[in-house]
Structure 1
């Protein structure tokens, strides 16, 4: 069993940090009662964490390449645990949101090293199995969050959704110390023959501070604008100002990345249609599969009178079970199918499952969501593990770590933006005196059409062949850097 210690360490940590993306969803009504927080404030409890994950994933990967993946993973776990403790004792919403952001920073350091750790620890068929299990953990974690949150909130109080991270963090630390071998990025000579424009960032492991700051500012500003637009109106000065700040920061990010010798994201990669399509699909897949769950949970609790446990079981368990089982089985077959078909069909399933849930009536009960959630879970099981390998296969080997890191960055950005957009739609429908079921139907229908659009994009544009671990390797193969 020691052979699988690295996979166990990564899976425990990944499950914990991804559960915390959604574990808060069923606790939102309780948090709102304790702190008197508005819907916009509640959205920031979710988005503060997701934005921090998205903002520093690639930068964390560069630090891990230079200072050691195991060290960075351990440090991230410690930061995550400390931030969880602050969340648990927070006396107000402001400190809770700040601590959630700090949680995201620690989670990013952990997530930034997962694929590199697995790639060093396993080869051949074992690597395929490891990625399949890791992908199943990814899918199950995001959907299992509301279940765990419901159980803890109803029986112990919402603060325990953060306290439970402390023993889990200790377990992740123990397995990491015991079973993970330290590794670094290859030296410059390991990437000889790479062109100057595409190779410079792989030869160095310096932190792209300017790129990290401008990317974070752009993502945070556009999220604020989307949330603020739902509260104050889309023509409000604060909303327009936030959009303007986001656009300016995005332009600054592009300028910085094009000029620096050590970009956190090489913009040349977007010249490859397959890579660009996969990044767009990563955003849309995460939004369409998971970002509507907070609002179905609110409907279940506030309008149907479900408790946190019932809301978590009805609103997430079917997806979690389908995702985990489907992902575990899919691990055996990932090598046999071209990624565009796996991802494209998976997105079609996500879209179909979401649209199946968008047929609620005032007489509907929570069980009406279950068939659609199962279909979405099967789609998630196909999409998530394959998305990472397809991104690696779409770029040169010396850029594999950066490509993998970009997948997770855009996935978390998709969740943050999805929560902001769906929150605005949900609030607008409720303010217009529509039935709560109508508000939920609109949110979930939009998610379904977003997934279908992403499926069409992938099927038409993505042209990668076999998964990355099956692709022919160069004579001198650089170690996978950064993250998936």
Structure 2
């Protein structure tokens, strides 16, 4: 049991922080009613957390490499628990969004260290098993959020979707203290404050522009100003990273087509697989009249179950196949799942979503663990903290951008009829799902074309001979 304590600690923390990305979706009507929140505020309750995760993951990875991954993981878990309490006690939308952002910072400190902790704790076939189970937890957690949120909201109130994090955090701390050994990466790693600020401003401005554009129009001055600020901050981020002695993201890695393709795929896959779930949930609750529990079960359980079962049972096999094929084909399954759901009509029952959700779950089970280990294999061991932070950063950024883009599509289609009808809502969800499927197809093409067919990431590397560059890197 002690052998797998590190995996258990990481999986508990990962499950908790990823559940909180989507657990709010089925509780949004209750939050809006209790706190008098509008549509824009509700979108920020989702995106504020995902944005905070994305904003500091890269910096947190560098800090963990320098000061210790175990220490950063523990600190993040404690912050996450404290912020969850603040979320539960928030009396208005503004304070809830602020607490969600703080919660995201704690989650980022945890998430930035997970890949590196597993990489240090396990080797060879054990690493394949560990990444397979961890990947299954990733897929199951993101889709299980609406289920857990529905159960807690319907029976206890929306506050409990946050309060439940406190005992779970304590369990994660216990397993971390028991089974995770301290490890560090580059001795010279520093917090890249300028890079963190410019990246955060760029992402936040882009997301704000997308959300506002859906409400105020794409030619609105503030919308255009937001996009201009996002572009300017992105250019500044690239300039800062090129000049920094210790950048949080080594831009030179993007010169490798495989690495660049995997990073872009991380954004697109996360959006395609999960960012449409809030809008199918709205259709289920507000237009079909389902309660939070039924909406969570019908709108997420098939994806969650398929992802977890296939990932847990087939994780070792998937890690043996070239990442090019595993990620490429898995992403095509996610696309097929989205397209299969995009056939809603005014007369469609809730169960029409199930076959497509199962297909998407199969794709998630194949893609997520392979994506993490493939990126890890593309960088030196001492850069694993940065690599883990990078792939998770791009994934959470994908979710935040996906919610904003799909929200604009959904709002635009609903606005075609006032008040919106059941048929209009079905049409709006169909357009969101078609967009998600197209995003997944783009990701699949990118991976199949640019990612080289290499050996599995879990296979042990050749032993370093003293005096070689590999040996010197291992010693750092």
TM range (shorter): over 0.9
Cα distance in 2 for partners of 1:209, 1:238 equals: 27
For 2:343 and 2:463, locate their aligned partners in 1 and report how far apart those are by CA, in whole Å: 51
Q: Decide whether the 8 Å contact of 1:78 with 1:106 is kept in 2.
A: yes
Please say which of residues 80-89 and 65-74 is displaced more in the overlay: 65-74
Q: Give distance in 1, aligned partners of 2:319 and 2:296.
A: 34
User: In 2, distance between residues paired with 1:439 and 1:321?
Assistant: 26
Residue 323 of structure 2: which of 339, 356, 359 is its match?
A: 339
Give 3-state SS (helix, strand or coil) of 1:112's partner: helix
Instruction: Look up the match of 1:382.
Output: 366
Could you tell me which residue of structure 2 aligns to residue 461 of structure 1?
Answer: 450
Tell me how far apart the structure 1 counterparts of residues 295 and 30 of structure 2 sit (CA, whole Å): 13
The 3-state SS of whatever aligns with 1:448 is: helix
Residue 423 of structure 2 corresponds to residue 439 of structure 1: no
Match runs of 1:110-259 below 5 Å? 110-185=110-185, 202-259=186-243
C-alpha distance in 1 between matches for 2:134 and 2:51 = 22
1:361 to 345, 349, 360: 345
| 1:60-99 → structure 2 map (5 Å cutoff) | 60-99=60-99
In the superposition, relative to structure 1, how do residues 400 and 303 fare at CA in structure 2: closer, same or farther (>3 Å)? same
Could you tell me the TM-score, scaled by structure 1's length? 0.94
- Give, in angstroms, the shift of residue 391 of structure 1: 1.4
Structure 2 SS opposite 1:8: helix
- Judging changes above 3 Å, is the alpha-carbon distance between structure 1 residues 480 and 469 closer, same or farther for their aligned structure 2 residues? farther
1:31-60, Cα deviation, whole Å (9 max, x unpaired)? 111122222111100000001111111111
Deviations 1:116-139 (A, max 9, x none): 111221111111111110000000
Query: Helix, strand or coil: the match of 1:470?
Result: coil
RMSD: 1.4
The offset of 1:479, in angstroms, is 6.4
1:175-233 CA-partner distances (Å, limit 9, x unpaired): 11111111112xxxxxxxxxxxxxxxx45111000000000000000000000000111
Q: Distance in 1 between matches of 2:473 and 2:163?
A: 40
SS at match of 1:336: coil
The question of 1:422 aligning with 2:422 is answered no
The equivalent of 2:16 in structure 1 is 16
Instruction: Give the one of 286, 310, 319 matched to 2:303.
Output: 319
Answering whether residue 350 of structure 2 is matched by residue 350 of structure 1, we say no
After TM superposition, give the deviation of residue 396 of structure 1 in Å. Answer: 4.3
Q: Deviations over 1:361-385 (max 9, x none)?
A: 1000110000000000000000000
Quote the residue 1:41 is aligned against.
Answer: 41
* Range 238-247 or range 400-409, more displaced: 400-409
Query: Are the aligned partners of 2:66 and 2:187 in contact in 1 as well (CA < 8 Å)?
Result: no
Instruction: Tell whether the 8 Å contact from 1:120 to 1:479 is kept in structure 2 after alignment.
Output: no
Cα distance in 2 for residues equivalent to 1:340 and 1:32: 43
TM-score by length of 2: 0.95
What is aligned with 2:293? 309
Deviation at 1:431, TM superposition (A): 0.7
1:404 aligns with 2:393: no
Tell me, in whole angstroms, the C-alpha distance in 1 between the residues paired with 2:126 and 2:459: 12
Paired position in structure 2 for 1:54:
54
**8 Å Cα contact 2:62/2:385 also seen in 1:** no
Q: Secondary structure at the match of 1:234?
A: coil
Compare 90-99 and 391-400 and name the one that shifted more: 391-400
Q: 2:459: which partner in 1?
A: 470
Kept after mapping to 2: 8 A contact 1:353/1:373 = yes
How many residues in Structure 1 have an aligned counterpart in Structure 2? Answer: 465
Asked if 1:299 corresponds to 2:288, the answer is no
CA contact (8 A) 2:147 2:296 kept: yes
Seen in structure 2, the aligned counterparts of structure 1 residues 388 and 479 have a Cα distance that, compared at 3 Å, is farther
The residue number in structure 1 matching 2:468 is none
* Shift of residue 402, structure 1, vs aligned partner: 2.2
Report the counterpart of residue 190 of structure 1 in structure 2.
Answer: none
Cα distance in 2 for residues equivalent to 1:337 and 1:378:
16
CA contact (8 A) 1:397 1:477 kept: no
TM-superposition CA deviations, 1:387-438 (whole Å, max 9, x none): 0111123344454432332111100000000000000110110111161000
The answer as to whether partners of 1:115 and 1:480 remain within 8 angstroms in 2 is: no
Q: Cα deviations across residues 215-259 of structure 1 (Å, max 9, x unaligned)? A: 000000000000000011111111011001111110110000000
Gaps of 5+ in 2: 465-470
Question: Within 1, Cα distance between the matches of 2:75 and 2:123?
Answer: 26
CA shift at 1:142, angstroms? 0.2
> Could you tell me how far apart the structure 2 residues matched to 1:25 and 1:480 are?
46
Structure 1, unmatched stretches of 5+, are: 186-201
Check whether the contact 1:393–1:464 (CA below 8 A) recurs between aligned residues.
Answer: no
Residues 147-169 of structure 1: CA deviation (Å, up to 9, x unaligned): 00000000000010000000000
